[in-house]
Structure 1
Amino acid sequence: MAKRAFDLLFAAGALLLIAPLLLAVTAWIKLDSRGPVLFRQVRVGRAGREFHILKFRTMHVDAPSRGPQITVGRDPRITRSGHFLRKYKLDELPQFFNVLVGDMSVVGPRPEVPRYVAMYPPSTRELVLSVRPGITDLASIEYRDENELLGRSADPERTYVEQVMPAKLSFCERYVRERSFAGDLGIIGRTFVAAFARR
């Protein structure tokens, strides 16, 4: 209950604070390429319930028909504005709306697409999906350069499934077992540090 109250206050406050930035990004995306401003994708949330995660669109509208579900390196499907938004994780900002409606938390395991969740070991799936997924977590901080890592692989899909995903799940399991309010604040702080370090 306390975590949900914190999520609501934090998300509402963040949206009010960054409202001018959201408007600026919206205008940039509209000017940069045709298509909607927001990208919606099905992800798996708490207890296996599917929901639509919100992101600023960073790829051309025909991207799904032009390549794999994961993006690697300097993917040509990414727009000019998209490269910048992805680099500084600004494409994730609309997920504060997901937090407000209860699909997500500010801190929690990053939600995956159904295809990859189906590959989770049963015990891991049960544990990780026992909490609301989050905008940020330990795995997203440690693997903030995931696209570049996969871009250096001869088989990005295999590298993700066999190496990256298991490592990220290990962080997710650790979070669920050890989660606390103080721990969440620490992860939020580390997220800000990681974001500004890229600047």
Structure 2
Amino acid sequence: MDIIISSVGLMVSVPVVAVLSCIIKVQSPGPVIYSQERIGFMRRPFRLFKLRSMIVDAEPDGPVLAVAGDRRITPIGRFMRKYHLDEIPNLWNVLKGDMSIVGPRPERQYYIERIIKLAPHYTLVHQVRPGLTSWGMVKYGYACDVAGMIERMKYDIQYLRNMSLSFDLRVIYHTLFTVIRGEGK
């Protein structure tokens, strides 16, 4: 299912990515695609790909989560984030096998270390491939701090306990409505 959905998604999204890429280049110098190391299945690091929604060198002093009204986000980046369009290249990660369509959100090692200090059971999320979408993202959304990541993790643990094709389809269904309504950050 992951291979079929990601392949079709990549093919269908080519025109959208082409238009967004042109706008990104016009609005902000730097690369169109942004990559960042995330931790995935069995705690293996992988490169996550996204359309760049922030200025280049948005984190000069180390990792910083985006917040409402974040000045680092470009105008087209704000639009892409609202509709999750910046995550289209994640489909490549799914096709490569780094991610699945549904699974816990992959985080950076920097934040994982902070989460584990407060919630050691967070390590359970690494027993499955991280997802393009997750029950945590559907029910909680983006987190702007470690406390929010821990709160969102409760939904990801609920997903792990109840993993099934029907649950995955439920997450995908809710994700589609989240995207259509523009409820991204």
For normalisation by structure 2, the TM-score amounts to 0.91
Structure 2's unaligned 5+ residue stretches are none
Is 2:69 the partner of 1:74?
A: yes
Number of aligned residue pairs: give it.
180
* Equivalent residue number for residue 165 of structure 2: 181
Instruction: Report the CA distance between 1:122 and its aligned residue.
Output: 3.5
* Equivalent residue number for residue 3 of structure 1: none
Instruction: Report the CA distance between 1:63 and its aligned residue.
Output: 1.2
* Equivalent residue number for residue 161 of structure 1: 146
Q: How does 1:1-199 map to 2 (within 5 A)?
A: 6-65=1-60, 69-118=64-113, 119-120=115-116, 121-125=119-123, 127-144=124-141, 146=142, 150=144, 160-162=145-147, 164-198=148-182
Within 2, Cα distance between the matches of 1:81 and 1:67?
24
Within 2, Cα distance between the matches of 1:143 and 1:32?
31
Within 1, Cα distance between the matches of 2:162 and 2:105?
16
1:150-180 residue CA offsets vs partner (Å, 9 max, x unmatched): 4xxxxxxxxx223x11111111111111110
Instruction: Report the CA distance between 1:37 and its aligned residue.
Output: 0.4
Moved over 6 A (4+): none
1:31-55 residue CA offsets vs partner (Å, 9 max, x unmatched): 1110000111111000000011111
Within 2, Cα distance between the matches of 1:7 and 1:75?
33
Segment drifting more, 116-125 vs 18-27: 116-125
SS state of the match for residue 47, structure 2?
strand
Structure 1's unaligned 5+ residue stretches are 1-5, 151-159
Q: Which amino acid aligns with 2:146?
A: V
How many percent of aligned residue pairs carry the same amino acid? Answer: 38
Q: Which amino acid aligns with 1:63?
A: A
